[in-house]
Structure formats: C-alpha cells, structure tokens
Structure 1
Amino acid sequence: MRTAVAVRDITRLVEKQLDHLFLYDKQKEGILLASAVSKALKKTAVNFSECRNKYYRKDGEVYFNPFHSGQYTVFLYYLSRVVREYEAFSLADRIYYLNKALNAVDLYYEIELPDLFFLDHPVGTLLGRADYGDYFVFSQHITVGNNHDIYPVFDERVSLLAGAVVIGNSRIGRNTIVSAESFIKDEEIPPNSVVFGQSPHLVIKTMPDSYFDDYFHAKFFLDS
C-alpha cells in the first residue's frame, strides 16, 4: 500500500494528536504504538484492497492518505483494535476517543467490523456490537444498537443510507439497501430488498440480483 506520507510520520501524527488531546507517554508507549501503526496499516490495506473510490487508489495501487477523514477513520479503528490486542487498554481507549473527537464516528475497538466495509461521509454514526458481513456500507447518522441486549445480524452486501437505524433482534439479508431515515427494530429482512419506512410498518421492495450487483460493484467495491 502506498501512503501519502512516510509510516514514521503517520506514527508521529498519531503521537502528536494523542499528546495534544490526552495524556501520552512516548517513552513508555512509543515502541508499542509504532508496532501497532505498522500492523494497523496492513489491516487498512486489506480493507481498501477492493474499494472502488478514486481516493483509495493511486496509479493502480491501494493508497492511504491520513489527511482524508474517511480513510483516517478506518485506520484509527484498526489501530485501536491492534493496541487492544496488546492489552494496552488505556492507549486503546485514547485512540478510540481520538477517532471520535476527530471524525465524529463511534467505532469502539470491541466492535468487529468485517475485513471489507466502506464508510461514506459517516459523521454522527454509532455502530454497536452487531454481527457484520463483508461489503458492509454505511453513511452519516447511522445507528446500530441493541434492544434488550440483542443486536442485529447483517449478511453480506448491506448498505445503510443516511439516518438509518437498525436495532434489536433484526436480521438483514444479503443484498439489502436500507433507505435514508428508515427505522428497523426486531425485524427479519429477506435478501434482495430495498427497505423504506419505520417498524412495524416497513415497506420492502424486492429487486433482482443484478440491481445489487450494479449498486455495490459500480459504487463501492471492485469485486463484491
């Protein structure tokens, strides 16, 4: 993966941001952070590998620019997860908080997103502890959460448009687009669906596979 700046400068950027906003001890945490940055970049490269968006690729190569907010959101999410794997929980908390402060996205490090997801202007989004399938796409002001401690399940190729809410004992089938401002609670959505409205009065429109092939392949992913 090509990077807009050197890896050491990405590490310095994170260190400066942590030091400016929170407590950060470079002497005690610097070696761990540098190692975590390298591992997080590898995970970021996998995430970007099938992304169709022009900003995620340069001269045919996967490309990471830490000054692109969406890309940096993904990187900080992975960085917090890698640091958590090292059991440096305080540092993981600060990186999670940094992501929230800079990018206005709530992606806690215990949330397990799939290897392949795409976020599209995700300001104000909160993703809870759901089960997420590959080729998951989300936009701004999304909420995914629990109802009575039960979280949703998303099969592959699900897109949540602006303001969508999915909570509780919901299963969202493969090839589903949840339209803007829709509210889904404790519902099972069949595959190949475009969903409108509010539970329990949802409108579900069935579409052919080709419709979703065009949507996910043309807009988001090279191979989905």
Structure 2
Amino acid sequence: MEWNMFKITLSTDDLQNYVFQQLNNFYPDNRLLNKDTLFKQSFNHALERTEYCFQHVALQAYHRKGTTFFSHLHSDQYTLFLWFLSNSVWKRYEDTELASKLFNLNKTLNGVLCMYDAGMPNIFLIVHGGAVLGKASYSDFFVCYQGSTVGAVNGIYPKLGKGVILAPQSSIIGDCTVGDLVTIGNQALLRNKDLKSRSLYYRHIDTGQHYVKKSSTSWVQSFFNVPIIPNGDDL
C-alpha cells in the first residue's frame, strides 16, 4: 500500500489494527478502547515523522523502486515507528498511559529503552535493537548499534552533535559534549569527557585503553543519502 508516496507493507488501517492488537494483547486492561481517536490521530502524525526519517536513510531496505518503504516486519523500522508513535502521543496529548504502553511494547519486542519524552531527533537510526537511550541532547543523523547506551552520571546527560554514531556495545554517559561526525568504536566508554568534531574514539582490543584520533571520513555518512553538514566550530 501507499501513503503519500510512502510504501507500507500493510494498509494504514491494517497497520493501525496491528499495533492496536499488540497493545491489547500485552496490556489487556481494556482501557485503550476509550482512546481510539487519540490513537488514530497520533498514528497519522507518527507515520508522517517515520516517512520523513526514512527518506534520508541510504540503506536499501528503506527504499523500493525509488520510493520510501516501511515494513512492519523489519524490526529496526518498526522500532523507530513505535518510538515516533509513543512520542506523538506524548507531545500531542500528554497521555502517559498510552505512551507508556507503546514504550513498553518497544522494549518488549525490540529491547529498546527510549522513553516517549526523550529528545530524539527527526532523523536517526537504531540498528539491531537492544539499545538504552536516555534523555540526552541529540541531533539529526544519530545512529546506534546493539548494546549501546546513552545515559547520565549524577543526573547530567551528554550533548551530542550532528552525525554521532555508536558502534556495538559502546556508551556515552555523563557530562560529555560530543561534536559532529563523531564515531564511538566497539566497546568504548566515553564518560564525563568531551570530543571534538570528526573524532574517532575507540578502545584498544588488547589493552582496553581508550584513544582519540582525528578522522577524515565519517562512518555515519554511509547510512544517509544526504550530506551531513557539521555545525561544530572545531573542524
């Protein structure tokens, strides 16, 4: 089916019913029926946001014959849609009950802990699920892999620039200001430390020590089909 030139594996009605039935199966408290209108309006808003996000993704699975594509059976795509839906419910209606159910559904199905009121950007990717994304300051073109964490130390969260990517099992926590086009390597931990733009921060596989080096190319650019233009002054 198509929705504003956005190809979806289910019709919008079927996709809405699909999510609706999942919520009622996992949380059979019979309280969702009273919120049908809220759910439908938030659903349409979430689809708009999902389409906008996917339009910028370079990965083949997000496009079919030149048209942006969304499969309800592609877990990474469905993860993003569920987050947009939970956030739309929160932003438009401040309905914590329905937003919490959608958050819990995403956590249950995809292992993603990202609260409905987190400040996720308009364009981002979660690859392979299993991520913990706290209420940091995010920017567009954020990418994280499985096992990655963005969290706080003593209530202070990181500030992430444009085009930050976290490799599997990596973390950014605490009072960190991270520039644009920064790569955090596998199993690396950035804690209460700043990184300039175009940095590669990685953990040595043998010694476990962490290193920083300047990077002339950015891994994150390969995930998107538009140039990521840095905002940072430290290029």
Equivalent residue of 2:200, what SS?
A: strand
1:105 aligns with 2:112: yes
Displacement of 1:104:
0.7
Residue in structure 1 matched with residue 233 of structure 2 by the alignment:
none
The separation in 2 between residues aligned to 1:95 and 1:81, in whole angstroms, is 9
Residue in structure 1 matched with residue 184 of structure 2 by the alignment:
178
The separation in 2 between residues aligned to 1:68 and 1:204, in whole angstroms, is 35
Equivalent pair of 1:194/1:206 in contact (CA under 8 Å): yes
Residue in structure 2 matched with residue 33 of structure 1 by the alignment:
39
- 1:180-207 C-alpha deviation (Å, 9 max, x unpaired): 0001111011111111139xx6300112
1:91 maps to which of 94, 98, 115: 98
Residue in structure 2 matched with residue 202 of structure 1 by the alignment:
210
Larger mean Cα displacement after TM superposition, 189-198 or 96-105: 189-198
Equivalent pair of 2:183/2:220 in contact (CA under 8 Å): no
- CA RMSD of superposed structures (Å): 1.5
1:3 maps to which of 5, 8, 12: 8
Displacement of 1:24:
4.1
Displacement of 1:120:
1.4
Count residues with an aligned counterpart: 217
**What TM-score do the two structures reach when normalised by structure 2?**
0.88
Equivalent residue of 2:132, what SS?
A: strand
Residue in structure 2 matched with residue 82 of structure 1 by the alignment:
88
1:43 aligns with 2:46: no
Displacement of 1:26:
4.8
1:1-224 to 2 correspondence within 5 Å? 1-22=6-27, 23-85=29-91, 86-123=93-130, 125-197=131-203, 202-208=210-216, 211-212=217-218, 215-217=219-221, 219-223=222-226, 224=228
Equivalent pair of 2:32/2:98 in contact (CA under 8 Å): no
Gap regions ≥5 residues in structure 2: 1-5, 229-235
Equivalent pair of 1:18/1:24 in contact (CA under 8 Å): no
Alignment-mate amino acid for residue 121 of structure 1: H
Equivalent pair of 2:114/2:133 in contact (CA under 8 Å): yes
Gap regions ≥5 residues in structure 1: none
The separation in 1 between residues aligned to 2:70 and 2:215, in whole angstroms, is 35
The separation in 2 between residues aligned to 1:143 and 1:34, in whole angstroms, is 32
Displacement of 1:116:
1.1
- 1:106-141 C-alpha deviation (Å, 9 max, x unpaired): 111111111111121122x10011111111110001
Displacement of 1:5:
0.7
**What TM-score do the two structures reach when normalised by structure 1?**
0.92
Equivalent pair of 1:192/1:207 in contact (CA under 8 Å): yes
